[in-house]
Structure 1
Amino acid sequence: MFFTSFLILFAVLSVSFCDDGHEMEEFLKREYSLSKPYQSIGVSGSSHWELMGDAVVTTDHVRLTSDQQSKQGAVWSRMPCHLNDWELQVHFKIHGQGKKNLNGDGLAVWYTKERMQNGPVFGNRDFFTGLGVFVDTYPNEEKLLEAQKKRYTPRTERIFPYVLAMVANGTISYDHDRDGRPTELGGCNAMVRNRKHDTFIFIRYVRRRLTVMIDIDGQHEWRDCLDIPGVRLPQGFYFGASAITGDLSDNHDLISMKLYQLTVLRSKQEEEQEEEILIPSVDNTDFYRPYTDVESVGSVGIFFTVLFSMLGLFLLVVVGLVVYSHWNENRRKRFY
């Protein structure tokens, strides 16, 4: 009996595991977490969380948007987070009357410098500073190219809904028409709409490594979505969640956001080399590749090739005429 009680106590007080060979412990940080009962949310000064836009609180969830057109809402932490390493578990639900590809637009989880600002990026501002993890439920790029009647071969096949991550420094725009492809760090397909069981997103930031996993199948198993090293996120940013609808709509419900502080064992040398991060960035800048349409690039290339060829031919003709005129003049001089 004593031994069993000891095991239970040990499991409750300390959850330890290994990541890249380093032992970690996790501790729930209630001041940065949102869960039932949602007491006094949005009431000034009496809660750690604040509502914005069309978001409303019920007994079961925070509804960021209802299944109606042109809605946007958000919930933001009032307290900046000053943790080196952390893990965020997000319990959410997206559901509505719309059929496949006739619903939208999606939900986002944020860790950003800015807070409480409406905008086009899933209900938040564009040119944000920090991290955004998006659950995109509508394929804007596919519909855009169909409308333009362009042939298109995607770099990677996407099935929507699609989860992706983006890190921005305040000067990078989210390309809504291209579903964020130009600045996507990575992503995965995630069939999260109208599920009868719980759906979760898991975001971990440890030792400048960003990991996103999902649990959407009701099996209580995390599935890898993306794993990116060299991600630099400053301390002192705010956690939040937002959603938006347009001509198409869905209910976007946030059930909980639970933040865990991760205590990572570091050597003295690692601690000495640790530098303060001021601007969000990713070491591998290839992630920020400009998006180009293959067909348009080919057309532009052909245009300039023909143009320069014609200019070259014209220049060659001019030089030839000058040389011929000079040779003909010298030839006439020899006859006098």
Structure 2
Amino acid sequence: MAAAISNNYKGSKLLFSFILTRRTMTFKSYCTLALVICSLGRCFAEDDHEMEEFLKREFSLTKPYQGVGSSGSSHWELMGDSMVTTEQVRLTPDMQSRQGAVWSRIPCHLKDWEMQVHFKIHGQGKKNLNGDGLAIWYTKERMQKGPVFGNMDNFTGLGVFVDTYPNEEKHLEAQKKRYTPRTQRIFPFVLAMVGNGSISYDHERDGRPTELGGCNAMVRNLKHDTFLFIRYVRRRLTVMIDIEGQHEWRDCLDIPGVRLPQGYYFGASAITGDLSDNHDIISLKLYQLTVLRTQKEEEEAEEEITIPSVDNIDLLRVGQSEEGMSGVAIFFTVLFSMLGCFLLIVVGLVVYSHWSENRRKRFY
């Protein structure tokens, strides 16, 4: 309410000063300006109150990690090579062939939620000599070891991966091939995937065939804190990162039409192979989001979702492939388009000149 009053006051003040400096404006212009400013003030007030968040401690993992991994009363359970210290939950040490995870014991039944992940990836390996990465999960299954960043393949639910090793690039190098500029990625790379229990994660291609989208994120061996932000609201999945030490979120992916069932488990896992890193979770903070919905959105929210899915997934992936056009491809596309337009203009002029000449002959 205070925000709305403040915004309306600022709008009124701006309107008054504008009238004093522009005495020649018509009455209609004054009315229009006043309506616009009042509408903006009301929009700002609504945006401030459109969404409220509440920390859910039973789904959050924070210091001092009391009872984690050692007490049946704890809300979180350790698996594999993971361990708890005073500063972090270490999913894997900087050693070869390790995997570990931490999983919530309680299923989450929230419709709209937001997970803020404070993590750290560091080790002795130099660039591209480290691996393999970590994952944040919201899945039907829990406490299952496997090859997908320390979790099972063919999972059911959502996985957000911080992939630090370019498997596809190394595979192509071994075959003496190269990435095309259209498809090349910069690692580490953050991507998201929704699985329905029958979709396999393609390790050789770094999950490219099944990804919803992603972004590069240089997160290794940084001296400042790094964060990952996952929001699921109104069936829309948003992932952002804060890795520059500026306390500013950067967009990574934003996908509408994501359908995730309720009652799944949150978790985090990591794996190392021939190459390794320390994969640390410093905190997982889950917020319940209270969102204003239209009647139609409320009806949609009441529909029971039993299998994770993404609307128009085929169109989404077609769009991703088209977005990756190289600079050379764009140049030739523009060039040939211009030549085509020029050719059409020339043909049009020739046709017009012949038509004009024939028309003159008919009059003489």
Q: Aligning the two structures, in what range does the TM-score lie when normalised by the shorter sequence?
A: 0.7 to 0.9
Amino acid at match of 1:160: F
- Which has a greater percent of strand? 1
Which amino acid letter does the alignment assign opposite residue 304 of structure 2?
A: E
Structure 1 distance, partners of 2:227, 2:179, is: 33
1:177 maps to: 204
The CA deviation at 1:217 is 0.6
Letter in 1 for 2:223: K
Q: Tell me the number of residue pairs that the alignment of Structure 1 and Structure 2 aligns.
A: 276
The higher-RCO structure (CA 8 Å, 6+ apart) is: 1
- Structure 1 unaligned residues grouped into runs of 5+: 4-15, 293-336
1:108 corresponding residue in structure 2: 135
Partner of 1:243 in structure 2?
A: 270
Contact 1:18 1:24 in 2 (8 A): no
Alignment match, 2:24:
none
Instruction: For 2:292 and 2:90, locate their aligned partners in 1 and report how far apart those are by CA, in whole Å.
Output: 39
Q: Give the whole-Å Cα distance in 1 for the aligned partners of 2:183 and 2:143.
A: 34
User: Using a 3 Å threshold, how does the CA distance of structure 1 residues 41 and 17 change in structure 2: closer, same or farther?
Assistant: farther
% identical equivalent positions? 83
Q: CA deviation at 1:18?
A: 6.6
Deviating 4+ runs (over 6 angstroms): 16-19
2:173 aligns to what SS in structure 1? Answer: helix
User: Does the 8 Å CA contact 2:120/2:219 hold for their aligned counterparts?
Assistant: yes
CA displacement at 1:76 relative to structure 2:
0.1
Normalised by the size of structure 1, how large is the TM-score?
Answer: 0.79
Give the match for residue 230 of structure 2. Answer: 203
> Is 2:308 the counterpart of 1:280?
yes
Residues 70, 177 of structure 1: CA spacing in aligned structure 2 closer, same or farther, 3 A cutoff? Answer: same
5 Å matches for 1:226-305? 226-274=253-301, 275-286=303-314, 287=316
Letter in 2 for 1:256: S
Distance 1:242 1:89 in 2: 16
The one-character-per-residue Cα deviations of 1:232-257 (angstroms, maximum 9, x if unpaired) are 00000000000000000000000000
In structure 2, the residue matched to 1:219 is: 246
Q: Kindly tell me: are residues 282 and 97 of structure 1, through their superposed partners in 2, closer, same or farther at Cα, counting changes over 3 Å?
A: same
Tell me whether 1:158 sits opposite 2:185 in the alignment: yes
Question: Does 1:72 pair with 2:99?
Answer: yes
Q: Does 1:58 align with 2:85?
A: yes
Deviation at 1:285, TM superposition (A): 1.8
| 1:272 shift after superposition | 2.4
| Residues 287-319 of structure 1, C-alpha deviations (whole Å, 9 max, x = no match) | 467xx9xxxxxxxxxxxxxxxxxxxxxxxxxxx
Shift of 1:221: 0.3
Aligned residue among 65, 74, 80 for 1:47: 74
**Distance in 2 between the 1:210 and 1:17 partners?**
25
C-alpha separation between the residues in 2 aligned to 1:208 and 1:72?
A: 32
Q: CA deviation at 1:116?
A: 0.2
